[in-house]
Structure 1
């Protein structure tokens, strides 16, 4: 695994000011509880581990590089048929590229996304994942973004590339990703199916932000909804006894404006 950010301080499990007081205590108790075998945790990536969407940010970067009109047609396609649009997006992002090329493009997207404010690595989620690692948890990221795109960024959270499950394409004889996404598609129920195929079990803990994460959240013994304002999803979370964390409290304060 490549270099990652230094681990959060071990003085306290969850120090980020973003966590609600009661949720902080509940998460710390969960993380440190003894278990006969490594507990399984599953995290969505876009808008959960990070603020923003790495695939959409990469699409905008490619559009800027090539001058192609990519973003607006993609958004219109999402409005018509989200899954079909996501599958086409995977092809646009990685088909015809090698794994090292995708990695380089993903890291460039991360760098430019952080500079522009389109992408923020959520420190609260990073410290939660590190705390789980320190206490023997098996942590996976399950994402609807391309697996090869998320893998190098997951390293910043201390998650090994082999524990990232996302949209996958096969490779041709020259090692380039081939068009066509392989099943199971990591979307809605497919996220849980992929996790089952990789681990053979349901998660003890799952975190997500949208309806595409519902299957994972429902399957988990303890679920955390990053609430971005979907009233229907919040109602389901309340009925299901899920933990709820407002997304805006996990955001860093914007930098102060430059002096005049």
Structure 2
């Protein structure tokens, strides 16, 4: 609130002497002015007990934000006082926020060093300014923030000492068992998650998505440049050390996009890795659906995002078989909640789908117009493709190093289907009739 003194306590403008030396803050014209010459907001005499000009908000900021250089106080008499002793380090009672600021101003105002002893402080950076304690925030030694923990070291899989570790990781990811043959996972739904696939992004805990994309980009560059048939050592064994894009795949994506189709990629690989590889066929990161970790402070955690009726952190639903249907309904068509796990009306389903694995069966069946299958000898996928009950399935061999023809029929009528609990069963059509065994004719 603006303080305005009564008329009887001040003189009129004509009664004021025009001598500006009567008061340091008094300027010609009968009105109090600040040290910089501008008019002060308070007319008449200064408030009792206050130094003129120091009670204004801008004057307060000048005390704190004074730039380095000769101080104006060095040109006027200053009391010869000794420097203040260091403040005691013992705990003080908590004060209100305003009291801290007032005490600091009093300390600067009344304890002034001699001109010879005055030293202007260096310019302070933003990080040098520490905020005052909050009046309701505990600041004792037992309530201080803990120092950050040092980052954990990566697994030594790239060193000779870590070869055994690399072998164990490879065995668990490739066979879902340890090198001794013990099962690595148990009790999962075979239609919504593959534990080894979900375990891979969990190993990325602590890295940021950008860092993982960097790893994937480096591996992509190295393997694309390697000659066909190259091998690379991992642990004590060797694995495939080269990779190629299908030229036919690139042409298909390009022509679909030109025709106005909205092309997406869904994969049971970590989301940052799929984003890097999708760029090679002209699909952006915003049209990629992979296995997605939850994040904390911008870093990946060991938990996975959920879909449908599965909450984040439950780690039971990834882009795998029926899980791909859920994630496509959620991300592409905006279906939320348990409804995303169910078959949608034809107007809210993809018109075309392509895949090469049993993990793609469900979202291929959801396509309304055409379904392309690349033959990699997968039982359930090839049973449905060769059966072609609705005339919308087409089969093509692999474009690079295609699989050889399967000498025995696919076991469609007996064990071609894997149930939720892992039990093998016959592959059935939409009308529940059993698909007979199918011969491998496209290879």
The two structures have a TM-score, normalised by structure 1, of 0.66
Query: CA contact under 8 A between 2:172 and 2:196: conserved in structure 1?
Result: no
Aligned to 2:258: 134
Q: CA deviation at 1:87?
A: 1.1
Aligned to 1:209: 356
* Equivalent-residue separation in structure 2 for 1:153 and 1:180 (angstroms): 23
Query: CA contact under 8 A between 2:361 and 2:380: conserved in structure 1?
Result: no
**Structure 1 residues 245, 152: CA separation in 2 closer, same or farther (over 3 Å shift)?**
same
User: Could you tell me which of 215, 223, 238 is aligned with 1:113?
Assistant: 223
User: Could you tell me which of 373, 377, 397 is aligned with 1:229?
Assistant: 377
**2:183 aligned with 1:101, yes or no?**
no
Q: CA deviation at 1:199?
A: 2.2
**Structure 1 residues 99, 233: CA separation in 2 closer, same or farther (over 3 Å shift)?**
closer
Q: CA deviation at 1:86?
A: 1.3
* Equivalent-residue separation in structure 2 for 1:121 and 1:63 (angstroms): 28
Query: For 2:377, what is the secondary structure of its paired residue?
Result: coil
Query: For 2:176, what is the secondary structure of its paired residue?
Result: helix
Query: For 2:291, what is the secondary structure of its paired residue?
Result: strand
Q: How does 1:231-246 map to 2 (within 5 A)?
A: 231-240=379-388, 241=391, 242-246=393-397
Query: Structure with the greater relative contact order (CA < 8 A, sep ≥ 6): 1 or 2?
Result: 1
* Equivalent-residue separation in structure 1 for 2:371 and 2:158 (angstroms): 38
- Cα deviation, 1:189-239, whole Å, max 9, x if unaligned, reads 111111111222311110111111000110012101110123553231022
**Number of corresponding residues:** 189
**2:222 aligned with 1:71, yes or no?**
no
Unaligned 5+ runs, structure 2: 1-155, 178-182, 187-192, 231-240, 308-317, 334-347, 403-443
Query: For 2:276, what is the secondary structure of its paired residue?
Result: helix
Query: For 1:229, what is the secondary structure of its paired residue?
Result: coil
Query: CA contact under 8 A between 1:63 and 1:71: conserved in structure 2?
Result: no
Query: For 1:213, what is the secondary structure of its paired residue?
Result: helix
Q: Which of 1 and 2 has greater Rg?
A: 2
Query: CA contact under 8 A between 2:173 and 2:196: conserved in structure 1?
Result: yes
* Equivalent-residue separation in structure 2 for 1:239 and 1:76 (angstroms): 30
Q: How does 1:81-92 map to 2 (within 5 A)?
A: 83-92=194-203
Q: 1 or 2, which has the higher strand percentage?
A: 1
Q: CA deviation at 1:83?
A: 1.1
* Equivalent-residue separation in structure 2 for 1:139 and 1:230 (angstroms): 24
The two structures have a TM-score, normalised by structure 2, of 0.40
* Equivalent-residue separation in structure 2 for 1:252 and 1:210 (angstroms): 16
- Cα deviation, 1:224-256, whole Å, max 9, x if unaligned, reads 111012355323102233110111xx1179xxx
Aligned to 2:400: 251
Aligned to 2:305: 182
**Structure 1 residues 98, 191: CA separation in 2 closer, same or farther (over 3 Å shift)?**
same
Answer with 77-86 or 122-131: which moved more.
Answer: 77-86
Answer with 83-92 or 137-146: which moved more.
Answer: 83-92
Query: For 1:218, what is the secondary structure of its paired residue?
Result: helix
Q: CA deviation at 1:156?
A: 1.1
Unaligned 5+ runs, structure 1: 1-61, 254-260
**Structure 1 residues 252, 75: CA separation in 2 closer, same or farther (over 3 Å shift)?**
closer
Aligned to 1:158: 282
**Structure 1 residues 99, 234: CA separation in 2 closer, same or farther (over 3 Å shift)?**
same
**RMSD after superposition:** 2.4
Q: 1 or 2, which has the higher helix percentage?
A: 1
* Equivalent-residue separation in structure 2 for 1:85 and 1:203 (angstroms): 28
